[in-house]
Structure 1
Amino acid sequence: MRPLSSDLREFIHLLNTKSVKYVIVGAWALAFHGRPRYTGDLDVFVAREQDNADRLMEVIEAFGFGRAGIARDDFL
């Protein structure tokens, strides 16, 4: 299995550090379970809860996307 890029590893680290409830889906999840199909993106589902959305917004800002026009309500 090809390793995750440093950006994707950083994003996952931030999700874990902020205790965001999430699950990785898509090609990376498929590759982890034995059927490699590599893409350049990472598909993530997050729990649709207010507290989780607040923590996710902290991650988005820390990752450098604070000015991307993303709002907490986008995740509810």
Structure 2
Amino acid sequence: MARLLDEFIGITEALNTRGIDYAVCGGWAMAIHGFLRTTIDIDLIILSEDLDAVMETARSLGFDIEGLPLNFDNGETLIRRISKIDHATKELITLDFILATEKYEDVWKDRRLVKWNAGEYRVVSVAGMKVMKEAAGRPKDLIDLDYLRGLDDED
């Protein structure tokens, strides 16, 4: 997990430096909102018009294995994936960029700037995470959703 934390810090700092907006979601957002659980990737919501710049930023950090575009919910959920192999551990490290489509417009607009782990990150709000977790509906998302329902939306 420490290596993944380094990658999380690396990509978010690089995006911040380049002035590219994003919002942390998925397992990292859960951690920032206080629910620590394992995660195997880094999920960020981005604007469609920033996709090329975001992918170039990822490439500059050694991410060089592009996945095929992922489309769910009749095109309402669009994900672009890029990965790299950690040469020390031989593990695959994956960045998933969820495009801020109309389905996630309110989630995007309600993102928050949060101080966490000696850094500042744009993060999907608790209310936005509830929307995303309900939409995903996997067993781990339902566990996350139970936790989120116990939080005040103004965290």
Read off the aligned partner of 2:62 and give its amino acid letter. Answer: G
**Runs (5+) with no aligned partner, structure 1:** none
Give the corresponding residue for 1:26.
Answer: 26
Deviations 1:4-48 (A, max 9, x none): 622221111111111222111011111211222221321111111
User: CA RMSD, aligned part only?
Assistant: 2.7
Instruction: Return closer, same or farther for 1:54/1:35 CA change in 2, 3 Å cut-off.
Output: same
Cα deviation, residue 54, structure 1: 3.2
Which structure carries more strand by proportion?
2
Instruction: Return closer, same or farther for 1:27/1:57 CA change in 2, 3 Å cut-off.
Output: closer
Which structure carries more helix by proportion?
1
**Runs (5+) with no aligned partner, structure 2:** 68-79, 81-96, 100-155
Q: 4+ residue stretches of structure 1 with deviation over 2 A?
A: 2-5, 67-70
Structure having greater relative contact order (Cα 8 Å, sep ≥ 6): 1
TM-score, normalising length: structure 2: 0.37
Which is greater in Rg? Answer: 2
Give the corresponding residue for 1:46.
Answer: 46
- The number of residues matched between the two structures is 69
How far, CA to CA, are the matches of 1:42 and 1:69 in structure 2?
A: 15
Instruction: Return closer, same or farther for 1:32/1:56 CA change in 2, 3 Å cut-off.
Output: same
Percent of pairs with identical residues: 33
How far, CA to CA, are the matches of 1:6 and 1:21 in structure 2?
A: 19
Read off the aligned partner of 1:5 and give its amino acid letter. Answer: L
